[in-house]
């Protein structure tokens, strides 16, 4: 089962669909208005899984909160071949052993390949 459907199943099991399903401390699985689903930490959708009908894949967003907790939760819900780490106060993303600078809004296909960079970013 893909992460999209796992998170969707969790979110749809919530008693209050508008608030989403609590899945951890200040962490919820929510269904978004366009059919995508997200892992929400406090008020930030840190991992958004895009509905397969919307192209699939997922987008990462720290909301500017480069904290240990945000990084840990994002890593928890990303594919196994990916991970965020910090060096000298900067965040990096390791994908299949390759390292790239982390940027909020990076979109990936279902396999973890970069599908889209935020506007203004060069590959």
The answer to the question of residue 122 being in a domain is no
pLDDT reading at 112 higher than 70: no
Cβ burial of 40 (10 Å; 0-12, 13-18, 19+) is buried
Other Cβ atoms closer than 10 A to 87: 8
The answer to the question of residue 30 being in a domain is yes
Note down the domain range covering 61: 3-110
pLDDT tens string 21-58: 999 999 999 999 898 999 999 999 999 999 988 888 99
What pLDDT is recorded for position 2? Answer: 63
The answer to the question of residue 14 being in a domain is yes
pTM (predicted TM-score): 0.86
The answer to the question of residue 29 being in a domain is yes
What pLDDT is recorded for position 32? Answer: 93
Considering its fold, how many domains does the chain have in total? 1
The answer to the question of residue 115 being in a domain is no
The answer to the question of residue 116 being in a domain is no
Q: Nearest-5° angle of CA 80, CA 84, CA 86?
A: 150
The answer to the question of residue 40 being in a domain is yes
pLDDT tens string 85-96: 999 999 999 988
């Amino acid at each position: 089962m893909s992460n999209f459907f796992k998170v969707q199943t969790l979110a749809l099991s919530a008693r209050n669909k508008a608030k989403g399903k609590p899945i951890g401390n200040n962490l919820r699985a929510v269904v978004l208005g366009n059919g995508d689903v997200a892992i929400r930490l406090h008020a930030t959708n840190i991992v958004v899984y895009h509905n397969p009908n919307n192209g699939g894949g997922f987008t990462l967003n720290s909301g500017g909160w480069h904290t240990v907790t945000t990084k840990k939760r994002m890593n928890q819900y990303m594919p196994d071949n990916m991970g965020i780490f910090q060096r000298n106060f900067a965040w990096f993303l390791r994908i299949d052993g390759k390292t790239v600078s982390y940027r909020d809004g990076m979109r990936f296909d279902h396999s973890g390949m970069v599908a889209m960079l935020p506007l203004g970013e060069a590959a």
